[in-house]
Amino acid sequence: MTSQSGGVPPAPQREDRILTLPNALSVLRLIGVPVFLWLLWVKADGWAFALLIASGVTDYLDGKLARLLDQYSRLGALLDPFVDRLYLVATVLGLMLRGILPWPFVVALIGRDLILAATLPVYRRRHLDPPEVIYLGKAATFALMAALPWLLAGEMHWPLAGFGRAFGWAFLIWGTAVYIWTGLLYLGKALAVARSIPAIPPVSPRD
């Protein structure tokens, strides 16, 4: 049995950690969301583009470092996907308001997440965890997060503007299609759970 004064802490204690390098990177990305929206508002597109790229790099690093440094935590498991979704929503809304991203794409992307959020009570009422993120869903999110900064780069006055538009639109169309398809897969799982597993009634408090 490991003492508290040294050695490797037990697994529950490690999972409850807050001050870890991956969590610090996730917090930095969270702080970057309002900064990115402000940069879009003042049309500092170069800085906004750089911030989106930095966000993508830190998104990769926090998961990688959590595994390499054995710094997994419950907070990180919740914070990382939350910041990913927040960045995605903030970016698509910001680009739509700037006239860079057509509104049908925004409706499709945000509508998909809202529909899936509405399925979470299906799992809660059965005391089940939501389904794990499938690899195809991760690939779709990566494609979208790669597309959005290049769409922004396509609006900038620099030699790679044409490449940015072509690259951004290619990844946007592919990523949106796969994102919606994986949403349908998650929705199918939720419907299957609702049909096959009865809900657990809430326990009433004793008098």
Q: Which residue, 65, 48, 54, is CA-closest to 29?
A: 54
Give the model's pLDDT for residue 166. Answer: 93
Q: Could you identify the residue written with the tokens 């998909």?
A: 112
DSSP assignment letter at 206 = P
Distance CA 65, CA 70 (A): 8
Terminal Cα distance for the chain, rounded: 42
133 vs 6, more confident: 133
Distance CA 183, CA 168 (A): 22
Give the model's pLDDT for residue 15. Answer: 58
| Segment among 23-37, 42-56, 63-77, 131-145 with least mean pLDDT | 63-77
Give the model's pLDDT for residue 79. Answer: 78
Distance CA 55, CA 35 (A): 12
138 vs 175, more confident: 175
Q: How far is residue 166 from each of residues 5, 18, 163, measured CA to CA in Å?
A: 57, 41, 5
Task: Classify 154 as helix, strand or coil.
Answer: coil
> What would the mean pLDDT of 185-207 be, rounded to a whole number?
85
> What would the mean pLDDT of 116-128 be, rounded to a whole number?
92
CA atoms within 13 A on the CB side of 8: 7
Give the model's pLDDT for residue 183. Answer: 94
66-96: per-residue pLDDT in tens? 777 677 777 777 777 788 878 888 888 999 9
> What angle do the packed helices 74-97 and 21-41 form, to 10 degrees?
10
Q: Which residues of 38-50 are buried (b: 16+ CB within 10 A; e: fewer)?
A: ebbeeeebeebbe
Distance CA 166, CA 45 (A): 18
157-191: per-residue pLDDT in tens? 888 889 889 999 999 999 999 999 999 999 999 99
